[in-house]
Structure 1
Amino acid sequence: MSPDRPTAAVPGLLSPALDDLGVTLHDGGGTLRVWSGRAESVELVVFDDADLDWSVADVPLTSVGGGVWSVTSELLRPGARYAVRADGPRGSGDTFNRGTLLIEPYSRGLATGDGYEDWRSVVVDRGFDWGEVRKPGTPMDRTVIYEGHVKGLTKRHPAVPPALHGTYAGLAHPAMIEHLLELGVTAVQLLPIHAFATEPRLLQHGLANYWGYNSLNFFSPHAAYATEENRRRGADAVLREVKGMVKLLHQAGIEVILDVVYNHTSEEGIGGPRTSLRGLDNRGYYRQQDDGTYIDVTGCGNAVDTSTDAAARLVVDSLRYWAEDVQIDGFRFDLAATLGRDAGHVFTPEHPLLQTILSDPALSGVKKIAEPWDVGMGGWQTGNFRPGWHEWNDRYRDRVRNFWLSDIDYARRAGVTPVGVGGFATRLAGSANTFTAERGPLASVNFVTAHDGFTLHDLVSYDVKHNIANGEQNRDGADTNRSFNHGAEGHTTNEGILAARRKAMRNLLGTLLLSAGVPMLTAGDEVGRSQRGNNNAYCHDSPLTWLSWDHAEWQSDLKAHVARLIRLRDENPALRPVRYARRGEHVPSASIMEWYDETGRTMSDERWNDSTKRTLQYVASSTPENEERNRILLIVHGSEHAVSVTLPEIEAADRFVRVWSSLDERPLTEVTEHAPGDRIDLPSTGMELFRVESVNPPG
């Protein structure tokens, strides 16, 4: 263990006995170290360079203690294809089979033959010239995340050369970088790029695992996203293409965040494929009952048992590798609650793995984003992770959708909205009822849509899911979407409905990008991409899920709104506080928030929950350490009934400069100035953003 890592009171997962697992190259070959706590023998199998089915050597590994097996061989050189196999007891929960060739868990590259389980590990030369390029290091308060799929982003991009369509290199092409910079996003968050496989069930239906949440290996990049040329050259070239993508994005100032799936693997339930961990030590790597039955808290057939030191260390070492060797800027942890389950399978935020991820020096500058739930008992943990973690905020998603969509739908049917504006205001201001003061608003990763669920366009165009094409009789995918079709299900030529949908999208985007917290935008939502009502398109590798770059005028207008909102967020620190304000106290890097009703008077307590009162004025004033004081006024009107809003009389506010409105089909080209006491008419739902200015600012 390197001297800069903590040595006092470290959990067992940082034991030196687990150091240097995988292949370490040195003069005269390499050393392979593999963990299997229950194996009775482990072998290295090396294959011919040209034929993955032709083994050239079988070499036994020696037990060196702590469950680790080791061998040094001149055959372990860059480019070598190899596998491991293990034999052991035949008791319940053990699945050893000496005849099964297994992926070595720390493989940095993979090669594959014709069969589903015909995988070989590859010894990779990890060298790469990063030059003077460094990680951008974007502060969290200035971070705007763009969640996308490596293939889907560029597969149809007309300015990206066809040879680069759907590839790592394509994502780093100047045309894609230009798009990201025009929007103003600061980070791309990529759906899984760890090597993954399509489930046999999907293959039987002629479908594919497009999203990639079915990991084969936690170190190897998914080779199918590399260019054809680099795939032919082998695992070294695939890894260099990934690093080249990261380098070019970093040169443009854009961070790369990976969606990582450490909670389960592609080996599925008992009877599923035996490709790696199951064959090495099923008991040691997967959560089980005493009789060997899997404890599946992920819904994917198995759950990695991070209460064992070796399984937890596998996760930590993978993170270190991607953060250091590949220069990745952050990770979004799929079903992170699973990673925090102890030996009794109960979630604890003090879990050694979660704490090690926070404290490990190799991960100190890395963004750590938890999807804070899984499908097991006690699996919903939003708000319960420790300081240093950021979390997908599903409470934010649901409240914002309710306010702009399902509440409006309800009002059309019942004549009155079901709730007032109070809950929405809490989310707008940073979800202080969910996250502790120590963590602050930046603990919340705000989102309205994600890869999983309706796109933004479909959220405002469909009342129900349309997933028949998934082959599961429309049973899959969420049934509660809080969506609203605005009067017609799916496609329509009714201009009134289409206009209402466009405005609803602008209201949702405006809320997302003007809320306190860290916004996450789903790729394609900036241009109103549709999946024709499919809210679980994980199995479609087709134009249904690939972004289209042929945009109608309204789509270009929507993109311009997104770019304007992101720029306004960047220019106005009052919109991105780091801490929660406390009444009567000066809190550096917080925003002081004041709330007014449509008459310009301070919001009364009873109005917050009055379902007939859906209008508020929100004044946020920054208290930054090193920036000029900044104030904004945001008007929110959550009813289809017209309202006339009187701008408030507030201290040191001489004028309100209107800088954005969701009522406009195209973003404002000229700002307008208004005085305190002026009236702003809103004919229906909408948002208006003003910059508060003073002729003689205080202090």
Structure 2
Amino acid sequence: MNTAYIDDFNLITLHYDSIEKPHEYFKSIQLVSNKYVHDLDLFDVIHLDHQSYYKFHTDRPLEISDKFFIHIGQIKIPVLLGTVTQTEAFEKRFDARHHELGAVVRDNKTTFTVWSPVAKVIKLNINDKVHTMEKLSDGAHRITLYGNYHLQSYHYDAYINHQWIQVNDPYSKGLTVNSTESVVIDFNKTHVEGFLETRRPETMQNDAIIYEVHVRDITMHPNSGVSPHKKGKLLGLIEPNTSTQSGESTGFDYITRLGITHVELLPINDFARVDDIEFEKAYNWGYDPEYFQTIDGSYSTQPANAAYRIQELKQVVKAFHEQGISVILDVVFNHVYNMPSSPFEKLVPGYYFRYHGDGSVSNGTGVGNDTKTERIMMRKFFVDTIKYYIHEFKIDGFRFDLMGTIDIETMQQIKSIVMADNPNAFLLGEGWDLATAMPKEMKTTHVNAWRVPEIHFFNDYFRDTLKGNNFNLMDRGYFNGGGKYYERMFNLFIARGNELPISQTVNYVEVHDNHTLFDRINYTSKKTLEEKNKIHQLATIFTIFALGTPFLHAGQEFYRTKHGHGNTYNLSDFINRIDWNRRIKYQPDIERIKQAIHIRNTHRIFRTKNIETIRQRVLPIELEHPLFGVLLFDTKSELILLFNPTALHHIVNLPRLGEYEVLLSNHLEGTRIKHFYNLSPFEYVVLKKRL
């Protein structure tokens, strides 16, 4: 099929049949719009397979939003948008960063602003009325209507690429059920009593202990004790006084009594695959983003009420803040669920996404597309999204999915905005180096961590050392491998010797991705269940005490299982939900985890990130291979940590004189010892001596 594309402001590429004498054949070719007839100058011909490509210069720069046709004698060929939207010239010409995009209600007026330099006309369709928007020179289209249009649904009709398209506002703060239309929000009408007065927790970054939660998982179990209409919902997450049938705390009360400082919520913005109303028919983690500034309807008790979704998230933040717990949102800025149907691609084809040199779409994310965060208007969108959540919801931090595909400049801008608002905010992300079409030096990866010193990175080296290579299910690490990688353990404990400095490492052994630690140990060990659980707790306790920021997956403290499944992003509630019956069964083990958290919170040495302090006051203990031990000098006490990853008893001579109290152990607690300690199989112990 013969087609033509605008690839720059003075460049047309015609896909056409092979012609023997193209300069003679195209002598009378013309580019026609409703304003001008352009002369074209053929300057290059490329033959590939059965298609030929003819490149023409135009006699003057093109108004790219016009409707163009190529005329070759009686042949008429429509001209579509090509790579022009990917050029630096396009970027410079249509810089609209100063606009407040979206629907904004102010002073009894509602202003709608949307950016699409390639749209000839954009019309606002609201309340069954159509309003033609003013097109500005920077590519923005804007209209102000008198009156407050709060909760009115709207969409845009845009004329792009020879056709009218219907598109929602990418800056939508509200959506109708299942995202069929955008909804105007007046934030003066989304107040929650006491929210504005609630103070953010002042937890320092060094003191953070992060607990990862999927909103739906926490409450869907039959024994969660959560009200039926709140199960799987934001409000279920914060329902107070819930318990199992036998009286053990669940949900909000359970989480807030663990001693953790931050709750990290898997994505709560609008995502695909789950129906807003009949949400139980499908499950999803939320990593299929469609609209980034709207709360997903499936998490709302009133999904048809766009304003109430906002109020529900405010209630969640308020409830955790009142308990001294900060809230981190998991944001997925690296891709969109479906690129062709995305409002970004509809409004400005080719602009918002990365491409390889051969024209193919970059897919470093592995899910079909990579957002081009280095584009000024894509960067503006994500920066604006962060501003929205911190200013409107008092969010305390963000976890960036596949952060390695986001450019450093974007992350630096986000960091500056967040830290200016809240110096104690916590930013973290996945710094994996993926095959996205962006130079390595621009990626927010581990090797470039020094360029974003206030952003933290998940430490996969830490994870793999403790339990084995993440991508080899049968591989083993120190705790499930009888002491494998013993030589790494002290440096791992003090965050020395790998790509991430102590100030940026997020230490973890389990996360929502891949197999839970319990399931991984089941695959790699033939020991008894009691022994497996001890191995599990060894790894969890080490994660809590290791220097850096500890990160726990909800339910990890009572051996969460996903019944052997690894990638459960779209599997059932049965597989993904928190099993509160395990919370009953393993209550003593939960108490040990809580005690470990308390020990960390009350001894500053575990939270220091000062290199000189660590050098002087955190020392390795020489022990029989492969036992691991560390001596720590806190301000008013002396601590010894011992870990035994073997099935053997070991007598450990204490490196210091004096009487020690057994603060914590999975074998023996509350006694006092001198000179030596009898370390049982798969035991960890924390000993304390007052100075």
TM class by shorter chain equals: 0.7 to 0.9
The equivalent residue for 2:27 is: none
**What CA deviation, in whole Å up to 9, does each residue of 1:624-652 have, x standing for no partner?**
xxxx4443111122333432110013xxx
The match for 1:22 among 83, 89, 102 is 102
Match of 1:647 among 649, 654, 660: 654
From 517, 525, 532, the equivalent of 2:563 is: 532
1:42 is matched with 122
Partners of 2:238 and 2:92 lie apart in 1 by 40
Residue of 172, 183, 186 corresponding to 1:125: 186
User: In the alignment, does 2:287 pair up with 1:262?
Assistant: no
The one-letter code of the counterpart of 1:356 is Q
In the superposition, relative to structure 1, how do residues 41 and 362 fare at CA in structure 2: closer, same or farther (>3 Å)?
farther
Q: Quick one: structure 1 residues 553 and 501, their matched pair in 2 at CA, closer, same or farther if it must change by over 3 Å? A: farther
How far apart are 1:303 and its partner, in Å?
A: 0.9
Q: Could you say which residue in structure 2 is the equivalent of 1:397?
A: 463
Q: Deviations over 1:640-699 (max 9, x none)?
A: 3432110013xxx532221111335xxx3xx22222xx22222423321111323xxxxx
In structure 2, relative to structure 1, the CA distance for the partners of 1:363 and 1:208 (3 Å cut) is: farther
Say whether residues 1:283 and 2:350 are aligned partners: yes
Task: Name the CA distance, whole Å, in 2 between partners of 1:458 and 1:307.
Answer: 39
1:455 and 2:516 correspond = yes
The one of 377, 382, 393 equivalent to 2:446 is: 382
Deviation (angstroms), 1:215 = 0.8
In 1, are the aligned partners of 2:538 and 2:643 still within 8 Å (CA)?
A: no
* Equivalent-residue separation in structure 2 for 1:352 and 1:380 (angstroms): 9
- In structure 2, give the amino acid aligned to 1:592: R
Question: In 2, Cα distance between the equivalents of 1:380 and 1:598?
Answer: 39
Distance in 2 (CA, whole Å) between partners of 1:76 and 1:33 is: 16
Quick check: 633-642 or 187-196, which moved more?
633-642
Distance in structure 2 (CA, Å) of the matches to 1:14 and 1:444:
39
Question: What is the Cα deviation at residue 289 of structure 1?
Answer: 3.9
Structure 2 match to 1:221: 295
User: Aligned to 1:323, what secondary structure does the other structure show?
Assistant: helix
**Is 1:165–2:196 an aligned residue pair?**
no
Residue pair 1:177, 1:252 contacting (<8 A) in 2 also? no
Q: CA deviation at 1:424?
A: 1.8
Q: Which whole-Å CA distance do the structure 2 matches of 1:569 and 1:180 have between them?
A: 17
Which residue number corresponds to residue 569 of structure 1? 600
1:681 to 678, 681, 686: 678
Does the 8 Å contact 1:357/1:363 carry over to 2? no
Q: Distance in 2 between matches of 1:500 and 1:312?
A: 50
CA distance in 2, matches of 1:410, 1:262: 35
Q: Which residue identity lines up with residue 431 of structure 2 in the other structure?
A: P
User: Partner letter of residue 123 of structure 2?
Assistant: E
Distance 2:297 2:227 in 1: 19
Distance in 1 separating the partners of 2:358 and 2:629: 60
> Retained in 2: the 8 A contact 1:323–1:366?
no
Deviation at 1:559, TM superposition (A): 1.3
Q: How does 1:167-246 map to 2 (within 5 A)?
A: 167-174=233-240, 175=242, 176-198=251-273, 208=282, 210-227=284-301, 230-232=302-304, 234-246=305-317
Superimposed CA distance per residue, residues 439-472 of structure 1 (whole angstroms, 9 cap, x where no aligned partner): xx2311111010001112212212xxxxxxxxxx
- Tell me, what secondary structure is at the counterpart of 1:242? helix
Q: Is 1:510–2:550 an aligned residue pair?
A: no
User: For residues 327 and 93 of structure 2, what CA distance do their matches in structure 1 show?
Assistant: 27
Contact 1:142 1:570 in 2 (8 A): yes
SS in 2 for 1:597: coil
Partner of 2:19 in structure 1? Answer: none
Question: Is 1:617 the counterpart of 2:629 in the alignment?
Answer: yes
- SS of 1:458's equivalent in the other structure is helix
Residue number in structure 2 paired with 1:607: none
RMSD: 2.8
Q: Which of the two has greater strand per residue?
A: 2
Higher alpha-carbon Rg: 2
Any idea what SS the aligned residue of 1:638 has? coil
Paired with 1:300 and 1:189, the residues of 2 have a C-alpha distance of: 23
User: Any conservation in 1 of the 2:518–2:536 contact (CA below 8 Å)?
Assistant: yes
Q: Is the 8 A contact 1:577 1:590 kept in 2?
A: no
1:207 offset after TM fit, Å? 7.5
Note if 1:555 corresponds to 2:586: yes
Residue from 235, 245, 251 that aligns with 2:322: 251
Letter in 2 for 1:86: A
Mapped partners of 1:408, 1:240: distance in 2: 46
Secondary structure (helix, strand or coil) at the match of 1:395 reads: helix
Amino acid at match of 1:195: D
* Structure 2 SS opposite 1:657: strand
C-alpha displacement of 1:307:
1.5
- Separation of aligned partners in 2, 1:674 and 1:621: 18
Q: Classify the secondary structure of the residue corresponding to 2:380.
A: helix
| 1:307-327 C-alpha deviation (Å, 9 max, x unpaired) | 210000000000000011011
Distance in 2 of aligned mates of 1:282 and 1:374: 27
Instruction: Name the CA distance, whole Å, in 2 between partners of 1:424 and 1:125.
Output: 54
Matched with 1:693 is: 690
- Report if aligned partners of 1:18, 1:313 keep a CA contact under 8 Å in 2: no
Partners of 2:475 and 2:606 lie apart in 1 by: 24
Q: 1:75 to 1:84 in 2, by over 3 A?
A: farther
Q: Percent identity?
A: 24
1:596 aligns with 2:621: yes
Q: Could you report, residue by residue, the CA deviation over 1:179-219 in whole angstroms, capped at 9, with x for unpaired residues?
A: 0122111111011001011199xxxxx98451000111111
What whole-Å deviation, never above 9, does each CA across 1:322-351 have from its counterpart, x for those lacking one? 0110111110000111111xxxxxxxxxx3
Q: Does the CA-based 8 Å contact 1:657-1:693 persist in structure 2?
A: no
Verify the 8 A CA contact 1:640 1:684 in the aligned structure 2. Answer: yes
CA contact (8 A) 1:659 1:691 kept: yes
Shift of 1:369: 0.7
Q: Could you tell me which runs of 5 or more consecutive residues in structure 1 were left unpaired when the two chains were aligned.
A: 1-10, 48-55, 91-96, 201-205, 341-350, 463-483, 488-495, 582-586, 600-612, 623-627, 695-699
The amino acid that maps onto 1:122 is V
Identify unmatched segments of 5+ residues in structure 2: 1-90, 243-250
State the match for 2:662 in structure 1.
658
Question: Aligned letter for 2:458?
Answer: W
Alpha-carbon separation, structure 2, partners of 1:65 and 1:687: 67
Separation in 2, partners of 1:433, 1:521: 21
Name which of 135, 138, 160 aligns with 2:200: 135
- Choose the corresponding residue for 1:406, options 472, 476, 482: 476
The CA deviation string for residues 410-456 of structure 1, in whole angstroms up to 9 with x for no partner, is 968xxxx654x2212211122453234xxxx2311111010001112
Which residue of structure 2 lines up, in the alignment, with residue 370 of structure 1?
A: 429
TM-superposed CA distance for 1:257, in Å, is 0.5
> What is the deviation of 1:364?
4.8
Instruction: Judge conservation of contact 2:480–2:645 (CA < 8 Å) in 1.
Output: no
Tell whether the 8 Å contact from 2:114 to 2:169 is kept in structure 1 after alignment.
Answer: yes
SS in 2 for 1:218: strand
Return the letter of the residue paired with 1:83: H
Aligned residues: 570
Using the alignment, how far apart are the partners of 1:563 and 1:338 within structure 2?
36
| Partner amino acid, structure 1, of 2:611 | Y
Structure 2 contact 96–139 (Cα < 8 Å) conserved? no
What is the DSSP-based 3-state SS (H/G/I as helix, E as strand, rest coil) of the residue aligned with 2:687? strand
**2:155/2:181 contact within 8 Å kept:** yes
The 2-side partners of 1:60 and 1:536 are apart by: 47
Q: Judge conservation of contact 1:513–1:519 (CA < 8 Å) in 2.
A: yes
What amino acid is the match of 1:392? F
Who is 2:156 aligned against? 84
Whose RCO is larger (CA < 8 A, sep 6+)?
A: 1
Q: Does 1:519 align with 2:550?
A: yes
Do structure 1's residue 423 and structure 2's residue 482 form an aligned pair?
Answer: no
In structure 1, what is the Cα distance between the partners aligned to 2:94 and 2:512? Answer: 34
Q: Specify the code of the residue in structure 2 equivalent to 1:190.
A: L
